[in-house]
Amino acid sequence: MKPWLRLKANGLQANRFLRLLAPFGIGLGCLGALQLSGVGEALDLLIYDTAVVLRPAPGRVPWPIRLIGLTEQDIRRFGWPMQDALLARAIDRLRADGVKAIGIDFYRDKGVEPGAALLRQRIRSHPEIVTIFNVAASIPSPPGTPTQQKSFNDLIVDADGVVRRDLLHVEGQPPDYVSLPLRLFELSKGDQTLRDQFKSAAMERSWLRSDSGGYRGQDAAGLQRMLPFYKPNSFPSWSIGDLLDGAIPPRELKGTIVLIGSRAASLRDNFHTPFTRFGNQANLATTDGVEIHAQRLASLFDLQAGGRFQMVALPAWLNHGLVLVALALGILIGERPKSFVRSAFLVLFAEVALLAASIGLLLVGFWVGISLPMAGLALMVVASWIRRAAVSQEHRRQFERLLGQTTSPAVAAELWNQRETLLTNGRFPGRELPLTMMLADTVRFSSVGEWMAPAELLDWINIGMEKFVEIINRNGGMVNKFTGDGFLAVFGAPLSVDACANAEAAVSAAREIQLAITGMMVELKDRGLPPIRLRIGICSGPVITGSMGGSSRMEYAVIGDAVNISARLESLSKERMGNDCRVLIASDTKDLLEEGRWRLDPWGPQSVKGREQPVDVYELESGEDPGVAQVP
């Protein structure tokens, strides 16, 4: 092949390859856009919240954590901001009842008289009291608070306004930069054993990263993890009025950790959690900040007790691996099943299975991002369908180019079903098939053409050809080419059922053509046209089939001795015409026919041009055959 032709062919192959890959590239682009848009993360968070709500959790927390809340009734009774003197009384009452640690979730950087000095004195003199400061809002702790009694109460709120993560600790900061729950936990235990475990290999793997679980590029500064929520209102709780009135039994408070904070909706110290996300907004279904701190404190007890009831966001590499597996599975589902209906059923089953597996993992405490794998699977299936549709269109064009409209509907359907095995690079590769060839020629065509105009001559010959092609197609044959005033028909190509069936089909078609020509005589005579008469030669044998030609001109070629013999039989002894459609059959075909079905007149061995050995020839008698239907 010339270099420029080779380059052109390679360019065509490259373009075809790129066209077939384009749907997958578009699918990957859509997947990337889904990730960047934040829609994927939103879907993963929705699934996460649903699983948290469904996840079985204890109704009451087994740890010694109590809440004292400032309620709307307390505000009406004591006013707001609450006087420091009242807070000091509350602290005295709690200490008298034997609590281990007290967390004050009220900002007291500025005193509220009367009693500001009294409250500060209580804080300085009692190390079991922990106060708060807020880093984000730059609100300091009460003046004079010792470092070991300071803590930050900052909460991490996701972009959708829901608290799901817990910032346990920030390393490399001043000594007072300890979270409120961790400070209270260490005060109650009297040591920092748990904090020391944060650097262990086991704990290191549990900290959130920017792409852990279903998150996409989240700020993962500090030591963060998913907060394992107990059900709302799981902590024993009373109001400040109850505490000051002595209405709380001392046994309920002795040896516990008490958090004091706002539980009044009007103070707006409340947040959405996975539980409240699906709540009734008309009822302001949110969680108080002090209860969220209690949830965080309970999770520390759980962590020290062996990690029970934890939520672990699986690492990013596992998410990426799952996406790759889903992409491969999507391509497999889209490509392998031949039926699009079966493929659609499989993708639906796979999507449901992925979602169910994700929720199942969440119920036992493991969170993996599932929206991107599910989207990737669906996109790859759709890309495969588009690719297959494009290939199907290309194959259809190739079939039309290679075979034209010369096949019967049944053969065309079977060819289409087997297109992937029959075509190679847009061609029918060379194959040897046992076929039966039929070559026909119109008798005295040249003589008729002498007195008819070209257009009239074409119309006349087409009257017969239209019927002959229909008969050949109906019998499973294919008109391979027209030879001016005749045609070459093939029985068994490109699909060969078996040699006997091919021979029977060819002879059956020839018999119907005989009857059709007889039926056409009256019609042609009425129109003042000469009769159409044919000579047909039929021979069976192995034939090489395949595409012949180049990109600009290509046809389906049949090459073999049977083709040559059928042509020689058609032209054998042209003057010997006993009827209007003479059909000569070679012995190779006769030996394949059902014995006794056809009436054959032996001509004996005949010498044919191009062969040294004679051919045994039989003529198909044109008399009425009850086994063959007449064609009008």
Average pLDDT on 464-483 reads 88
> What one-character DSSP code corresponds to residue 263?
-
Q: How far apart are CA 408 and CA 410, in angstroms?
A: 5
Place of tokens 């967390």: 103
Category of 312 on φ-ψ map: left (φ > 0), alpha (ψ -120 to 50) or beta: beta
Q: Looking at the structure, do residues 142 and 246 belong to the same domain, yes or no?
A: yes
Q: How confident is the model at residue 478 (pLDDT cuts 50, 70, 90)?
A: confident
Mean pLDDT within 433-438: 92
Q: 115-139 as b/e, with b when 16 or more CB fall inside 10 Å?
A: bbebbbebbeeeebbbbbbeeeeee
**Cα separations in angstroms, 69 against 290, 352, 409:** 8, 44, 82
Q: Is 537 in a helix, a strand, or coil? A: strand
Q: How far apart are the first and last CA of the chain?
A: 52
Q: Which residue has the higher pLDDT, 398 or 11?
A: 398
What average pLDDT does range 57-68 have in this prediction? 85
Task: State the CATH number of the domain containing residue 560.
Answer: 3.30.70.1230
The residues near 464 (Cβ < 8 Å, ≥ 6 apart) are 442, 516, 517, 520, 532, 534
Mean pLDDT of 165-183: 93
The H-or-E segment that residue 72 falls in is helix 72-78
Element containing residue 500 per DSSP (H, E): helix 499-526
User: 107 exposed, middle or buried (CB, 10 Å; 0-12, 13-18, 19+)?
Assistant: middle
- Of 29-43, 316-330, 612-626, least confident by mean pLDDT is 612-626
| Rounded mean pLDDT, 385-396 | 77
DSSP per-residue string spanning 279-346: S-GGGT--EEHHHHHHHHHHHHHHHHTTSTT--EEPPHHHHHHHHHHHHHHHHHHHHS-S-HHHHHHH
pLDDT of residue 416: 52
Task: Please give the structure tokens belonging to residue 566.
Answer: 């059928």
> Regarding beta strands 129-133 and 101-104, do their DSSP bridges make them parallel or antiparallel, or are they unpaired?
parallel
Q: Which residue has the higher pLDDT, 256 or 498?
A: 256
The total number of residues written for the chain in this structure: 632
pLDDT recorded at residue 17? 58
181: left (phi over 0), alpha (psi -120 to 50) or beta: alpha
- Residues sharing a CB contact under 8 Å with residue 624, sequence separation 6 or more, in sequence order: none
Check residue 258 and give its pLDDT: 97
Name the DSSP letter for residue 365. T
pLDDT one-digit tens code per residue, 95-114: 999 999 999 999 999 999 99
- The domain total for the chain is 3
Residue 409 lies in a domain: no
Residue 590, phi then psi, degrees to nearest 5? -60, -40
Cα separation values, 552 from 6, 483, 548, Å: 15, 21, 11
Mean pLDDT taken over the chain: 86
Average pLDDT over residues 468-488: 88
pTM: predicted TM-score of the whole model, two decimal places: 0.66
Which has the higher per-residue pLDDT, 493 or 98?
Answer: 98
**What does the pLDDT read at residue 283?**
43
Q: Do 390 and 243 belong to one domain?
A: no
pLDDT in tens, 116-150: 999 999 999 999 999 999 999 999 999 999 999 99
510 in Cβ contact with 534 (< 8 Å): no
Instruction: Go through 301-337 and write b for each residue having 16 or more CB atoms within 10 A of its CB, e for each that does not.
Output: bbbeeeeebbbbbbbbeebeebbeebbebbbbbbbeb
- Whether 627 is covered by a domain: the verdict is no
Whether residues 471 and 355 fall in one domain:
no
Of 341, 360, 395, the last residue of a domain is 395
| 534 to 167, 405, 438, 444, 537: CA distances (angstroms) | 95, 23, 12, 9, 10
Whether residue 114 has a cis bond before it, omega within 30° of 0:
yes
Q: Band the pLDDT of 522: cuts 50, 70, 90.
A: confident
Amino acid, single-letter form, for residue 409: P
Residue bearing tokens 């079991």: 128
The alpha-carbon radius of gyration of the chain (Å, integer) is 45
pLDDT above 90 covers what percent of the chain? 54
Q: Is the pLDDT of residue 320 over 70?
A: yes
The verdict on 480 and 342 lying in the same domain is no
CB proximity list for 252: less than 8 A, separation 6 or greater? 66, 236
Residue 17 lies in a domain: no
Instruction: Say whether pLDDT at 284 is over 60.
Output: no
* 550 touches 434 (CB < 8 A): no
What confidence score (pLDDT) does residue 370 get?
A: 94
pLDDT interval class at 417 (50, 70, 90): low
548 vs 586, higher pLDDT: 586
Task: Please give the Cα distance from 522 to 527 (Å, whole number).
Answer: 9
The pLDDT value recorded for residue 309 is 79
CA atoms 469, 472, 473, 478: torsion sign: negative
Helix axes 409-417, 371-403, angle to 10 degrees: 140
Shared domain check, 606 and 476: yes
How high is the pLDDT of residue 631? Answer: 33
For residue 54, being part of any structural domain is answered with no
What would the mean pLDDT of 328-356 be, rounded to a whole number? 92
Please check the confidence at residue 5 and state whether its pLDDT lies above 50. Answer: no
Let me know whether 456 and 592 are in one domain: yes
- The pLDDT assigned to 65 comes to 96
**Last-in-domain residue among 248, 281, 313:** 313
Q: Which of 260, 293, 313 is the last residue of a domain?
A: 313
In whole angstroms, what is the distance from residue 544 CA to residue 607 CA?
A: 24
Q: Helices 289-304 and 180-189 sit at what angle, rounded to 10 degrees? A: 50
Give 596-599 contacts, CB < 8 A, sequence gap 24+: 597/504, 597/627, 598/507, 598/511, 598/625, 599/623, 599/625
Q: What are phi and psi of 553, to 5 degrees?
A: -150, 120
Query: Do 164 and 264 share a structural domain?
Result: yes
Angle between helix 39-54 and helix 371-403 axes, rounded to 10 deg: 130
* 408 located within any domain: no
The answer to whether residues 133 and 232 belong to one domain is yes
Residue 358 shares a structural domain with residue 507: no
pLDDT at residue 632 is higher than 50: no
Which alpha helices (H) appear in 364-444, and where do they start and end? Answer: 371-403, 409-417, 419-422
Q: Which residues, in sequence order, are CB contacts of 125 under 8 Å at separation 6+?
A: none
Residues 133 and 331: their CA atoms lie apart, in Å, by 54
Residues 84 and 225 in one domain: yes
Lowest-pLDDT choice from 7-11, 85-89, 177-181: 7-11
CA–CA dist 368, 319 (Å, integer): 6
Statement: residue 557 has pLDDT above 80: no
Same domain, 572 and 604: yes
Instruction: State yes or no: pLDDT of 274 exceeds 50.
Output: yes
In the predicted structure, residue 330 carries a pLDDT above the cut 90: yes
> According to the model, what pLDDT value does residue 336 have?
86
In a domain, 446, yes or no: yes
Tell whether 57 is covered by a domain: no
Query: Which of 84-98, 119-133, 461-475, 493-507 shows the lowest mean pLDDT across its residues?
Result: 493-507
Q: Kindly tell me if the per-residue pLDDT of 9 is higher than 60.
A: no
The yes-or-no verdict on residue 188 having pLDDT over 60 is yes
How much of the chain exceeds pLDDT 70, in percent?
86
Is residue 482 included in any domain, yes or no?
yes
Does the pLDDT value for residue 418 go beyond 60? no
Q: What is the mean pLDDT of residues 244-256?
A: 95
Comparing 631 with 410, the larger pLDDT belongs to 410
- Amino acid identity, residue 118? L
Specify the higher pLDDT residue, 293 or 191. 293
What secondary structure does DSSP assign to 35-48, as a single string? Answer: HHHTHHHHHHHHHH
Note down the domain range covering 455: 421-620
In the predicted model, is pLDDT for residue 1 greater than 50? no
pLDDT at 414: 45
Q: How many C-beta atoms surround the C-beta of residue 192 within 10 A?
A: 13
Identify the weakest region by mean pLDDT among 179-188, 251-260, 552-561.
552-561
Check pLDDT > 50 for residue 630: no
Domain match, 306 and 333 both: no
Mean pLDDT, rounded, for 215-243: 91
